Amino acid sequence: MTTATHEETLGFQTEVKQLLHLMIHSLYSNREIFLRELISNGADACDKLRYAALDNDSLYEGDSELRIEIEHDAEAGTVTVRDNGIGMTRDEVISNLGTIARSGTADFLKQLSGEQQKDARLIGQFGVGFYSGFIVADEISVRTRKAGSDKAEGVEWRSRGEGEFTVADIEREAHGTEIVLHLKEDAKEFADDFRLQSLVRKYSDHIEVPVRMPKVESARDDEGNAIEGSEITTWETVNEATALWSRPKGEISDEEYQAFYKHVAHDFSDPLTWSHNKVEGKLEYTSLLYVPGRAPFDLYERDGARGVKLYVQRVFIMDDAEQFLPLYLRFIKGVLDTRDLSLNVSRELLQQDPKVEKIRSALTKRALDMLKKLAKDKPAYQTFWNTFGSVLKEGPAEDFANREKIAGLLRFSTTHTDSATQDQSLADYVERMQEGQQKIYYIVADSFNAAKSSPHLEIFRKKGIEVVLLHDRVDEWLMSHLNEYDGKALVDVAKGELDLGDIEGEEEKQAQEETAKAKEDLVKRVKEALGDQVQEVKVTHRLTDSPACVVLPEHEMGFQMRRIMEAAGQPMPEVKPILELNPVHALVAKLEGVEGEAFGDLAHVLLDQAIIAEGGHLDDPAAYVKRLNALLTA
Q: Considering the domain boundaries, does residue 387 fall inside one?
A: no
Give me the count of residues in the chain.
Answer: 634
Confidence of residue 122 (pLDDT cuts 50, 70, 90): very low
CATH of the domain at 41: 3.30.565.10
CATH of the domain at 494: 3.40.50.11260
Let me know whether 53 and 189 are in one domain. Answer: yes
CA proximity to 454, closest of 396, 410, 495, 409 = 495
Q: Could you say which of 237, 260, 284 is where a domain stops? A: 237
Helix (H) or strand (E) holding 265: helix 254-265
Question: Residues 6 or more apart from 342 whose CB is under 8 A from it?
Answer: 312, 349
Q: pLDDT at position 142, please?
A: 95
DSSP assigned state of 228: E
Q: Considering the domain boundaries, does residue 107 fall inside one?
A: yes
> pLDDT for 533-564, tens place per residue?
999 999 988 899 999 999 988 777 776 676 66
Q: Considering the domain boundaries, does residue 195 fall inside one?
A: yes
Let me know whether 332 and 436 are in one domain. Answer: no
The answer to whether the beta carbons of residues 627 and 604 sit under 8 Å apart is: yes
Let me know whether 424 and 468 are in one domain. Answer: yes
Q: pLDDT at position 161, please?
A: 83
Query: What is the distance between the alpha carbons of residues 460 and 554, in angstroms, rounded to a whole number?
Result: 19
Q: Considering the domain boundaries, does residue 335 fall inside one?
A: yes
Let me know whether 433 and 298 are in one domain. Answer: no
> pLDDT for 483-514, tens place per residue?
999 999 999 998 888 888 777 777 778 888 88
Q: Considering the domain boundaries, does residue 272 fall inside one?
A: yes
Under DSSP, is residue 620 helix (H, G, I), strand (E, B) or coil? coil
Q: Considering the domain boundaries, does residue 401 fall inside one?
A: no
Let me know whether 20 and 87 are in one domain. Answer: yes
Q: Considering the domain boundaries, does residue 431 fall inside one?
A: yes
Question: Residues 6 or more apart from 535 whose CB is under 8 A from it?
Answer: 553, 576, 577, 578
Number of domains in the chain: 4
Query: What is the distance between the alpha carbons of residues 533 and 530, in angstroms, rounded to a whole number?
Result: 6
DSSP assigned state of 373: H
Whether 594 has a pLDDT exceeding 90, the answer reads no
Q: At what angle do helices 621-632 and 596-613 cross, to 10 degrees?
A: 120
Let me know whether 53 and 125 are in one domain. Answer: yes
Instruction: Supply the mean pLDDT for the chain.
Output: 86
Let me know whether 219 and 120 are in one domain. Answer: yes
Q: Could you say which of 503, 528, 558 is where a domain stops? A: 503
- The residue among 376 and 576 whose pLDDT is bigger is 376
Distances (CA, A) of 239 to 69, 85, 101, 181, 356: 11, 18, 32, 21, 33
Q: Could you say which of 377, 398, 429 is where a domain stops? A: 377
Task: Quote the pTM value.
Answer: 0.74
CATH of the domain at 561: 1.20.120.790
Let me know whether 328 and 360 are in one domain. Answer: yes
Let me know whether 499 and 526 are in one domain. Answer: no
Give the domain extent around 587: 506-632
Reported as half-sphere exposure (CB side, CA atoms, 13 A), residue 378 has a value of: 6
Let me know whether 233 and 325 are in one domain. Answer: no
CATH of the domain at 295: 3.30.230.80
Let me know whether 133 and 147 are in one domain. Answer: yes
The answer to whether the beta carbons of residues 412 and 440 sit under 8 Å apart is: no
Question: How would DSSP label each residue in 418-479?
Answer: T-SS--B-HHHHHHTPPTT--SEEEEE-SSHHHHHT-GGGHHHHHHT---EEE-STTHHHHH
Q: Considering the domain boundaries, does residue 91 fall inside one?
A: yes
Let me know whether 362 and 300 are in one domain. Answer: yes
Question: Residues 6 or more apart from 196 whose CB is under 8 A from it?
Answer: 35, 70, 72, 79, 190, 213
